[in-house]
């Protein structure tokens, strides 16, 4: 009996902790959602308003009148392209690390990781000069290349574990069955690693979609994604909070949906390397 009541107390405590965590995490998002439906008066009232007459004007004001809708397309183009590039380049590299044995392998592997260790801002200026010299500044290509280069290390790091989990006899069986080494990778190993590749791709997509710094530095007008569009709503006449909230909601919606859809695989993918060591 005592056991059961202590057990119940613990459960209640756990629920309380979870509840606090959920409130802390969700309140800003809910507040932003409400803000996107508020008019200027409600937004700037000194007492936070939870009850108000909603307005739908913020969304068309920013996406149509200010022509922000192409920014959403830019966001999609940048994220999808860099994700595809990351997987196309990173997956074979990770496979190589998982299977081949060559001198300095672990050092090279660690080097890949170190490319993410410096603070992103530290290479912002060289990157800017680099893309200026290439004539790619203010195009989405620059952003795609930048995102690909810094997400690549993550892809290689994560996917190596997924490939290592597949016994090498599978590759060898495929080769004995008549595939070349490359054929074994594309037709047998890659389909087997599909859940891992998917989880990695989702993570790449999210990281690229949310990225602000490089996008902000590398594009000013044509190729802006949504994240870079938001500062443009800080005007000399004051910040248009309702429109900022509207853009932010549209910008976060795909990520929220995506995460709900694939949360199981994503957790598996992220904890994978940790478990494997």
Partner 1 sequence: MAIVFDGVTKAFPDGTVALHALDLAFDPGEFLVLLGPSGSGKTTACRLLAGLERPTAGRIMVEDQDVTNLPPRLRGMGMVFQNYALYSHKSVYENIAYPLRIRKMAGAEIDRSVRAMAELLEIGRYLDRRPSQLSGGQAQRVAVARALVWQPSLCLMDEPLSNLDALLRLHMRTELKRLHRELKKTFVFVTHDQEEAMTLATRVAVLREGSLIQFDDPREIYRRPANRFIAEFIGRPAMNTFDGTVRGGVFHADGFTCPLPGRPDGPVVLGIRPEQIQIVDASAGDSARFAVDVVEAVEPDVLIFARSQASKLIVRTASDDRAFKPGQPLHLRFPANALHVFDATSGARLP
Nearest approach, Cβ of 114 to partner 1 (angstroms)? 25
How would DSSP label each residue in 180-223? -HHHHIIIIIHHHTHHHHHHHHHHHHHHHHH--HHHHHH-SSTT
Using CA atoms of 263, 268, 270, 273 in order, give the dihedral in degrees to the nearest 10: 180
Provide, rounded to whole angstroms, the least separation between the CB of residue 188 and partner 1. 6
Phi-psi region of 15 (alpha: psi -120 to 50; beta: other; left: phi over 0): alpha
Q: What angle do CA 34, 37, 39 make, to 5 degrees?
A: 115
Distance CA 193, CA 217 (A): 36
Q: With respect to partner 1, which residue has the nearer C-beta, 172 or 222? A: 172
Indicate the burial class of 148 (C-beta count within 10 angstroms; 0-12, 13-18, 19 or more). buried
Question: Which region, judged by CB under 8 A, interacts with partner 1, from 27-35, 73-81, 87-95, 175-183?
Answer: 175-183
Q: Is 180 in the site for partner 1 (CB under 8 A)?
A: yes
- Identify residues 189-248 at the interface with partner 1 (CB under 8 A): 191-192, 194
**Cβ closest to partner 1, residue 69 vs residue 187:** 187
Q: Tell me whether residue 66 or residue 179 sits nearer to partner 1 (CB atom).
A: 179
Q: Which stretch binds partner 1 (CB under 8 A): 12-20, 59-67, 90-98, 173-181?
A: 173-181
Among 65, 165, 177, 222, binds partner 1 (CB under 8 A): 177
Interface pick for partner 1 out of 72, 84, 175, 207 (rule CB under 8 A): 175
Asked if residues 82 and 144 have their Cβ atoms less than 8 Å apart, the reply is yes
Q: Is 65 in the site for partner 1 (CB under 8 A)?
A: no
Locate 200 and state its tokens: 């990695």
Q: Which is nearer to partner 1, 71 or 166 (CB)?
A: 166
Report the alpha-carbon distance of residue 59 to residue 244 in Å, rounded.
10
Q: Does 3 bind partner 1 (CB under 8 A)?
A: no
266 contacts 202 by C-beta, under 8 angstroms: yes
The token pair that represents 186 in the structure block = 């594309």
Site string for partner 1, 89-118 (x = CB under 8 A): ------------x-----------------
The footprint of partner 1 (CB under 8 A) covers 101, 167, 169-170, 172-181, 183, 188, 191-192, 194
């Amino acid at each position: 009996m005592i056991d059961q009541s202590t057990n119940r107390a613990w459960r209640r405590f756990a629920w309380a902790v979870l509840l606090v965590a959920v409130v802390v995490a969700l309140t800003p998002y809910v507040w932003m959602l409400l803000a996107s439906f508020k008019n200027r008066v409600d937004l700037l009232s000194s007492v936070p308003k939870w009850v108000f007459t909603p307005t739908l004007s913020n969304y068309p004001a920013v996406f149509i009148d200010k022509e922000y809708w192409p920014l959403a397309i830019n966001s999609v183009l940048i994220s999808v392209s860099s994700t595809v590039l990351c997987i196309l380049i990173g997956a074979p590299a990770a496979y190589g690390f998982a299977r081949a044995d060559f001198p300095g392998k672990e050092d090279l592997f660690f080097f890949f990781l170190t490319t993410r260790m410096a603070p992103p801002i530290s290479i912002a200026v060289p990157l800017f000069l680099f893309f200026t010299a290439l004539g790619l500044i203010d195009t989405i290509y620059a952003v795609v290349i930048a995102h690909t280069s810094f997400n690549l290390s993550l892809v290689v790091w994560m996917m190596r574990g997924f490939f290592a989990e597949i016994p090498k006899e599978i590759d060898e069986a495929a080769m004995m069955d008549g595939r070349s080494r490359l054929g074994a990778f594309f037709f047998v190993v890659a389909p087997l690693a599909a859940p891992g590749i998917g989880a990695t791709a989702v993570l790449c997509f999210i990281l690229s979609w949310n990225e602000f710094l490089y996008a902000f530095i590398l594009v000013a007008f044509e190729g802006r994604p949504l994240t870079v569009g938001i500062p443009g709503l800080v005007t000399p006449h004051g910040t248009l909070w309702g429109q900022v909230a509207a853009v932010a909601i549209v910008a976060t919606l795909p990520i929220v949906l995506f995460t709900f859809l694939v949360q199981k695989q994503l957790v598996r993918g992220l904890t994978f390397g940790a478990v494997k060591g």
